[in-house]
Amino acid sequence: MTLAELADVNFDALPFWQGTEAGDFLLARCGDCGEAHHYPRAVCPFCRSEAIRFEPASGKATIYSLAVTRIPEKPLRVVAYVTLDEGPTILTKIVDADDAVAIGDPVRVDFEKHPEGLTAAVFRLARNDK
Ligand SMILES: [Zn+2]
């Protein structure tokens, strides 16, 4: 799916996907109650306000839960829930993880361009940063 196709079917999330395309991790926040949420919605899931705005997020998170798939001679495949420093817990992929990956590990956002067109937000272990 391209950004143009996304705009037709899910305009609520368009700013988020435009952000990932530009290498920015944007988080939706309610202008009335102040709560952040993800995935992006047109109506606040906490107070039903429509005053949603997007703001840059830190891109820092902690692994809340994870599932590891091991396939011989292939990199680990890790799907995880990570809790963003801003509060929301989101489902994502941990890239370039090693066997020591565990609940509680700090991670940071990165981006992965998909062949269909959209750029996904993924996370990688922060302890591997130099
Ligand atoms: Zn709200």
Ordered by start, the domain boundaries in the chain are: 3-128
Distance from the CA of 95 to the center of ligand 1, in angstroms?
32
Task: Report strand pairing: 26-30 vs 52-56.
Answer: antiparallel
Q: Does domain 3-128 have CATH number 2.40.50.840?
A: yes
Distance from the CA of 29 to the center of ligand 1, in angstroms?
8
- Taking all residues of the chain, what is their mean pLDDT, rounded to a whole number? 93
Tens of pLDDT along 80-124?
999 999 999 999 999 999 999 999 999 999 999 998 888 999 999
Distance from the CA of 91 to the center of ligand 1, in angstroms?
21
Token pair belonging to 71: 């396939």
Model pLDDT, residue 2: 79
Tens of pLDDT along 9-36?
778 889 999 999 999 999 999 999 999 9
Distance from the CA of 109 to the center of ligand 1, in angstroms?
25
Rounded Cα–Cα distance for residues 113 and 17 (Å): 11
b/e per residue 77-95 (b: at least 16 CB within 10 A): ebebebebebebebebbbb
Distance from the CA of 106 to the center of ligand 1, in angstroms?
28
